[in-house]
Amino acid sequence: MKVLVPVKRVVDKDIKVRVKSDGSGVDIANVKMSMNPFDEIAVEEAVRLKEKGVATEVIAVSCGEAKCQETLRTAMAIGADRGILVESAEELQPLAVAKLLKALVDKEQPGLVILGKQAIDDDANQTGQMLAALADLPQGTFAGKVEVEGDKVKVTREVDSGLETVTLSVPAVITADLRLNEPRYVTLPNIMKAKKKQLDTLKPEELGVDVAPRLKTLKVSEPPKRGAGVKVPDVATLVDKLKNEAKVI
């Protein structure tokens, strides 16, 4: 069984993002970029399935500019067997990415598609669900545990009320939540091995997909700065401030 793992190149999770002076977007010039943390968890889960003998091949996929090759090499250093880059200079929105992934699903015929539940740059939480709809595949979102049993996969999901377990027929789409696993540390020897692994580059046109943006960003701005907190002498004063100043009660 093949496992397809989409990975996204985003601003590193430890970097404080800055908004461009013209409000057109986030400044990523000279900023450290890395793999989306939820996608890293997805790669780790796919590699673990291969180590258990459940999966035969793990294919990492990224959509975006040529620099996304670095993200794919990281995925291959974790344990992915090969990578596919769908190279495009366009701003790729979730629907466009889902369409590209659907075309790759048709081409590669994976048994599972495992991806992060959301990307930390736009927090859209849409691509996995859109892919499942386009490809007409069952989906298990927000996965905290994945167990493959023959041609079925049992997914324990994290929902507002607790945990929910669903059983899906393969092929299926799974989106990884934070507690699914802890990704392994990437060692230098594996980084060197990853440089020799196969990495194919495609264009959206080759997959027959129109990636033109459907949405337009009008303005990006930082959230308003919060005022400093104050100490109150007693509960009565606190209630008075909440009622008359904050007006929340």
Dist. CA 74–CA 84, nearest whole Å: 13
In 3D, which of 127, 92, 120, 106 has the Cα closest to residue 6? Answer: 127
The answer for residues whose C-beta is within 8 angstroms of residue 94's C-beta and 6 or more apart is 122, 124, 126, 127, 130
Q: Which structure tokens are listed for 53?
A: 């003998």
CA distance linking residue 102 with residue 85, whole number of Å: 14
Share of the chain above pLDDT 90, in %: 77
pTM (predicted TM-score): 0.86
Domains present along the chain, CATH in parentheses? 2-244 (3.40.50.620)
- Identify the top-confidence range among 29-33, 117-121, 221-225: 117-121
**What type of residue is 136?**
D
The model's pLDDT over 57-113, given as tens digits with 9 standing for 90+, comes to 999 999 999 999 999 999 999 999 999 999 998 889 999 999 999 999 999 999 999
